[in-house]
């Protein structure tokens, strides 16, 4: 494939109250771009999180990012102790980034 770069994809789910700490870890790791998906539901160690439940007080958020291998290791090194401390999950997979023309706004 032309114009592709091998990267690592991170899908990180944490309670929204930990978002600021997570962003700080990503910043310290040199990450310069990510996407946030709010009101993520599912079943985890804290039970069922239903984003459609109007009484749900605690909200999950998913952060999705991709970076090259050397930077990915920095993210893992910063993220591992944090997740042990405040919970959540992180999935890491191989991916390809497809270069395209710059987006103009």
Closest-CA residue to 66 (of 45, 95, 36): 95
Q: What is the pLDDT of residue 1?
A: 54
pTM of the model: 0.81
| Residue 67: strand pairing partners | 8
Three-state DSSP class for residue 5: strand
Q: Per-residue pLDDT tens, the chain, 105 aa: give them.
A: 578 889 999 999 998 889 999 999 999 999 989 999 988 766 666 655 655 555 556 688 999 999 998 899 999 999 999 998 888 899 999 999 887 666 555
């Amino acid at each position: 494939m032309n114009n592709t770069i091998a990267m690592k994809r991170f899908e990180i789910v944490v309670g929204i109250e930990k978002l600021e700490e997570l962003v700080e870890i990503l910043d310290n790791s040199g990450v310069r771009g990510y996407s946030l998906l709010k009101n993520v539901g599912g079943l985890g160690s804290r039970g069922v999180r239903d984003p459609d439940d109007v009484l749900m007080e605690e909200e999950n958020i998913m952060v999705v990012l991709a970076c090259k291998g050397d930077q990915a290791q920095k993210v893992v090194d910063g993220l591992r102790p944090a997740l042990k401390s405040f919970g959540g999950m992180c999935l890491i997979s191989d991916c390809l980034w497809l270069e395209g023309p710059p987006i103009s706004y």
